[in-house]
Amino acid sequence: MAAAKTIGDYLIQRLYAHGVRHIFGVPGDYALSFFHELESSDLLVINTCDEQGAGFAADAYARIKGLGAVCVTYCVGGLKVANTTAQAFAEKSPVIVISGAPGTNERIKSPLLHHKVREFDTQLKVFEQITVASTALNNPQTACREIDRVIDAALHHKRPVYIELPRDMVSAKPLPDYLPSETPLPCDDNVLNEALVETEKIINSSKKPVIIAGIELHRFGIQDDLLKFIDNTHIPVAATPLSKSVISEHHPQYMGVYEGAIGHDEVREYVESSDCLILMGTFMTDINLGMFTAHLDQGRSIYATSEKIYIHYHAYEDVGISDFIKGLLRININKQPDTDIPRPIPLQPLQPVVGKKITVKYLFQRLNAFLDKNTVVIADTGDAMFGAMDMSIHSETEFLAPAYYASMGFAVPGSLGVQLANSNLRPLVLVGDGAFQMTGMELSTAVRYKLSPIVIILNNSGYGTERPMLDGLFNDVNSWEYCSIPDVIKAGRGFSIKTEDNLDEALHLSGKYTEDICILDVQIDPDDSSLPLQRMSKAFAKRI
């Protein structure tokens, strides 16, 4: 790697060195010079219609590739990615947010520069709250070290970071003899060994151990280690809503998604009656998508996180999940396989009945049969996500959803990130009409960069998730003719779906048109919903 000539150049080099190949964003005058450097670099700039689209795309990119980046201008752009960054923080997705800013020199001369909110560091302060590390590169002497520090933090904690790049720093010279540095995560072997001895004892003396496989397994790239551990020990495993598909849902020890009262009763009963819960990188908050109906007892748990290992009521510091799981492969667990574990009930493919009105139930059954090993399901908040919980995903991490923070608008822009991160994957976007109207214009970005998602719009004339909780005109959404969108964006194919056979035929054609965006406007009754959503709404309504 040639030594970086400028700070902008150094930042680009470090992103590239960490596997980033695309950067999503919208320029503005405070960021233009950096966009210019990006354009002449090996990174491809993906211009989205809106910054929120860029933020969601970078988040999905990070979920597939391990690191994502978004670049925006000061405040008007930066504050638009506050929501997407908050989601990446809450769901542990390592996104580097780069924001242009007024030059350090021009701040002295004219303190009332455009886009400024209150103080020059207002945006930085906002991002301090929703990232794991942040920096303003105001000093060329320390800029490279600062870039390494925050990128390291993103990779260690799998959470977003913020880099503010004043426009006069883009071409500033870095320290000439600075060498890139990476700090390894700490691991104290003595502490690890003690945690493993205790774990071995607890699992061997338990009668009904269960693993709950969480999202950190994917974020740290240690799914294969988990699989070896399951194969060695035959311990059954469940996922959570956020980590659905972290382990192949066809694995013989896989029981299904554990999500408290809204999931399947058999999985819930098995997990909650376990005398040894092994929580692997699980977010305790995530399972509460089941509305505080998860009953997991800390006194029966071994809980591995990226920072510590908790065993019952005490914690082992300075040991992270990656070292712990590798250690688990060295201990001796003597367990007979339980032949009576719950198994996911596959959605049965149904033959379409010609002329029969489409229902949510039929939609998911038919979509389930459509999945193959190259399909990534990206589900938006709403029944798109709840209904998809019962789909069977073929490979690891082929299901993406904002299943904890639950911001609407993730799925369409998320599909850009997924397909750019891995061009072998075809995104199947599941999105409600309400969520589509928030970020659906990013299909225009998909056209520009020749991407080909299949977009299933669950068109139920409004905010179906909210109607059973409390209904009113505020839950209505204006009706759009979604299948005419190709006329506007000048590409793609649209399908109007009213019946079972309409869906069947549209999916068949979408499977054939692999290079095209396919938009399926699935017109369902406003009061039709999936079973998981019906259970969820009941639980929620009690709390309103």
Binding mask 463-482 for ligand TPP (x = CB under 6 A): xxxx----------------
Q: Binding to ligand TPP by residue 382, rule CB under 6 A? A: yes
From the CB of 462, what's the least distance to Mg ion, in Å?
5
Q: How many residues of this chain interact with ligand TPP, rule: CB under 6 A? A: 18
Work out the widest C-alpha separation in the chain, in whole angstroms: 75
Go through the chain and tell me how many residues it has.
Answer: 544
Dist. CA 107–CA 255, nearest whole Å = 59
Among the residue ranges 21-29, 94-102, 405-413, 415-423, the one whose residues contact ligand TPP (CB under 6 A): 405-413
Nearer to ligand TPP, 319 or 522 (CB): 522
Which of 529, 516, 223 has its CA nearest to residue 398?
A: 223
Give the integer Cα–Cα distance in Å for 474 and 400: 28
- CB-based burial, 4-37: b 16+ in 10 Å, e otherwise: bebbbbbbbbbbeebebebbbbbbbebbebbbeb
CA distances from 202 to 267, 331, 523 (A): 22, 12, 52
390 binds Mg ion (CB under 5 A): no
Binding ligand TPP by CB under 6 A: which of 100, 414, 434, 532? 434
Two tokens at 166?
């004043």
Least distance in angstroms from the C-beta of 409 to Mg ion: 13
Identify what 500 binds: Mg ion, ligand TPP, none; CB under 5 to 8 Å per kind.
none
CB 498 → Mg ion: shortest distance, Å?
16
> Binding to ligand TPP by residue 91, rule CB under 6 A?
no
Full DSSP string of 96-122 = EEEEEE--HHHHHH-S--TT--SSTTH
CA 249 to chain centroid: 18
Rg from Cα positions in the chain: 24
- The yes or no reply on residue 464 touching Mg ion (CB under 5 A) is yes
Q: Which is nearer to Mg ion, 101 or 522 (CB)?
A: 522
**Is residue 460 a contact residue for Mg ion (CB under 5 A)?**
yes
- According to CB under 6 A, which one of 52, 223, 375, 381 is a site residue for ligand TPP? 381
Q: What does residue 204 show for φ and ψ, rounded to 5 degrees? A: -65, -30
Is residue 458 a contact point for ligand TPP (CB under 6 A)?
yes
List all residues 6 or more positions away from 191 whose beta carbon is below 8 Å from its beta carbon.
Answer: 316, 317, 318, 319
**Taking CB under 6 A as the rule, does residue 406 contact ligand TPP?**
yes
Does residue number 50 form part of the binding site for ligand TPP (CB under 6 A)?
no
Residue 407 binding target from Mg ion, ligand TPP, none, CB below 5 to 8 Å by type? ligand TPP
* 508 burial type by CB count under 10 A (0-12 exposed, 13-18 middle, 19+ buried): exposed
Residue 258 vs 463, nearer CB to ligand TPP: 463
Token pair listed for 479: 């009706």
Write the interaction track for Mg ion spanning residues 411-440; mark x where CB under 5 A is met and - where it is not. Answer: ---------------------xxx------
Residue 395 sits in the site that holds Mg ion (CB under 5 A): no
State the residues that interact with Mg ion by CB under 5 A.
Answer: 432-434, 460, 464
Q: Which residues bind ligand TPP (CB under 6 A)?
A: 381-384, 406-409, 432-435, 458, 460, 463-466
